[in-house]
Amino acid sequence: MIIRVYRCTVVEGKEAEFRRFAFDKRHPWLRERPGMVAFFAAKPLPGDTGRGRCMFQIWESEAALRAAMGDDWRQTPVLPAEASALIDSASVEHYELADHFVGDVFQDLWSI
């Protein structure tokens, strides 16, 4: 399995718009991709004033990731203008899954 970690910094004052874009457009698109095992979108902890966001994706294979993201899947994705206007900077990293643990709480969440 391939782990894809996408990080971005949201334009100051555009956090609500970014959230709407992510939840209304990007997340549904990802859910429909063959080979997408899971993804987790994260935001700063309460009280943290940072504008960083992170998405941790798990893909079943490099082939599935390539099919979804294209041949340049290792590069930070070029987003549509609508999203680009909301993001100051972005990066992407990839890893091969080497070990895992899924606790009872996660297992309970996934069975919902």
Summarised one tens digit per residue, pLDDT across range 57-107 is 999 999 999 999 999 999 998 888 888 899 999 999 999 999 888 777 776
CATH 3.30.70.100 fits 2-110, yes or no: yes
* Domain layout of the chain by residue ranges: 2-110
Residues 6+ apart with CB under 8 A from 39: 27, 30, 55, 56, 57, 58
pTM across the whole model? 0.85
Per cent of the chain over pLDDT 90 is: 74
Q: Which tokens belong to 48? A: 């943290």
